[in-house]
Chain A
Amino acid sequence: MTEKKTPLHAEHEALGASMTDFGGWQMPLRYTSDLAEHRAVREAAGLFDLSHMGGLSIAGPQAARFLDHALVGSFSALRRGKARYTMICAADGGVLDDLIAYRTGDEEFFVVANAANAETVLVALLERAAGFDVQVRDVSAAQALVAVQGPRAAEIVREVLQDAQGTDGAAFDELKYYACLGMRFGDEEVLVARTGYTGEDGFEIWVAAPHAVALWRALLAAGEPQGLVPAGLSARDSLRLEAGMPLYGHELDTTTTPYDAGMGRIVKLDKVSDDGTPVEFVGRDALAARRESAPARVLVGLRGTARRPARAGHAVVQPDPARPDDVAAALQVGTVTSGAPSPTLGHPVAMAYVTPEVSAEGTELAVDVRGRAEPFVVVPLPFYRRDRG
């Protein structure tokens, strides 16, 4: 095995996890049951090892201006302690990766990349840094990332971490969605963000690698009475699919623009720097043109009305009304990018790119599931939205 291991690898083995290769890493696929782990996150909490994700430190007087140039979002406008979902695009507008960027200081950002793209993102950022007074550093190896996700996540994290400012948890209690905060785990500084990839409330915690095991165990111990279980990548995938969140390599790739993926809102074509000057960012011209043109395909949600789930790569077809069961005679109108039986909803769900003509809500389509037409209907994303009380 040549795959990389996270600082928590021995913990996963001790918990009896089934391991899988993901983005060049050996990661826990499941500990016991995909469904039980999925439900724990929806109903109580799940603990995830996400240390395979890439972590990049961006620091220097021109850090914000540099990210304005390198990414599609506006970072001069991002306040300290806030996070933003963003993308890095090629000059042709194709997505190189989707990212979360945290502003950890006036001249400091922390950028989180997908494991499989971490190297690509690092190389692109280093290239784009030419001429900026900024330092781009890959800090992935020194850091571990664990996530606590679910309705009980806040109580659990609050019990394990301490405010860096000694405010007795008040700063943590006020932490908003897509915001971040420096906290302490014992004597160690950690970065806590109220972000996630599950559709639930939750937190992602960056900790120095040598302290990852202690933090993992402390979160497990504090969380178990609340129903927290360790959760693997299988549950993470079904959770994010229900939440309608794209996964790089499925909904996003270098042939896809943010507009194709329904993420046009994160592209700031008219962003200005902190001194008010317009910013030319990589991919801007292609993206501006793309916004004005009619899309060739649209990302939609599909709900299965029978039991067999569609999977990534399956053809979406428009059934011939005269021969609804004849998949071979049907016209292909798209391709499934992600699909699974939804544990929460109890029916198959899928995301697919389809032609605009068949993208309206309520359109009845079919998916060619190994030679048989399975009925699906176009529904709005996300499939699942948590009750915010």
Chain B
Amino acid sequence: MADFPDNLRYSVEHEWVDDASPATVGVTSVAAEALGDVVYLELPEVGATIEAGTVIGEIESTKSVSELYSPVSGTVVEVNQAAIDDPAVVNAEPFGAGWLFKVEVSEAGQLLSAEEYAQHAG
């Protein structure tokens, strides 16, 4: 079973979110591996209001496209332009430089601990 960073919380749709303010959101290594090489990111715009559990963008890989769900509700304050320009960073460092966007959280969704997510992703 894979190890996931303890300081993050996870959605069942394989997004992660940290506890900073604003919070950073990305996809997990499980999602990155399942997708294959990411080639295109469609992210919410800065200023957009997003709702936990809803589709807010898409992640396109060589083989397929997946919807991006928001793990939290809030307002988007920044998107990772470097990842939009070179999406390979999502595969290389899903928990680091491959983050997707930052959000001022109004309400967290149903989130899992690292241990719970590891079981879910098992």
Interface string of A5-37 (1 = CB under 8 A from B): 000000000000010000000000110011100
Q: Which of B42, B58, B62 contacts A34 (CB 8 A)?
A: B62
Task: List residues 291-316 of chain A with CB under 8 A from any CB of chain B.
Answer: 307-309, 311
Question: Is A234's CB under 8 angstroms from B63's CB?
Answer: yes
B47 within 8 A of A: no
Question: Is B36's CB under 8 angstroms from A341's CB?
Answer: no
B33 within 8 A of A: yes
Count of residues in A whose CB is under 8 Å from the partner chain: 18
Extra pairs beyond A35-B37, A341-B40, A341-B62 (4, CB < 8 Å): A18-B33, A308-B40, A309-B60, A341-B60
| Interface residue ranges, B against A (CB under 8 Å) | 33, 36-37, 39-40, 42, 58, 60-63, 65, 88, 91
Q: Which of A307, A340, A370 contacts B63 (CB 8 A)?
A: A340
Sampled A-B contacts (27; CB under 8 Å): A18-B33, A29-B36, A29-B63, A30-B36, A33-B36, A33-B37, A33-B91, A34-B61, A35-B37, A35-B39, A35-B62, A35-B88, A234-B36, A234-B62, A234-B63, A238-B62, A307-B40, A308-B40, A308-B42, A308-B60, A309-B39, A309-B60, A311-B65, A341-B39, A341-B40, A341-B60, A341-B62
Separation of A19 and B65 alpha carbons in the complex (Å): 18
Interface pairs A-B: 3 shortest CB-CB = A34-B62, A35-B37, A341-B39
Question: Is A34's CB under 8 angstroms from B40's CB?
Answer: no
Say what secondary structure dominates the interface of chain A: mixed
Separation of A237 and B88 alpha carbons in the complex (Å): 20
- B63 contact set on A, CB distance < 8 A: 29, 34, 234, 237, 340
Q: Which chain A residue has the least Cβ–Cβ distance from B92?
A: A33
A343 within 8 A of B: yes
Question: Is B60's CB under 8 angstroms from A34's CB?
Answer: no
Q: Which chain B residue has the least Cβ–Cβ distance from A34?
A: B62
- A29 contact set on B, CB distance < 8 A: 36, 63
Separation of A38 and B61 alpha carbons in the complex (Å): 14
Q: Report B86 CB to chain A, min CB distance, Å.
A: 12
Question: Is A34's CB under 8 angstroms from B37's CB?
Answer: yes
Question: Is B40's CB under 8 angstroms from A340's CB?
Answer: no
- A234 contact set on B, CB distance < 8 A: 36, 62-63
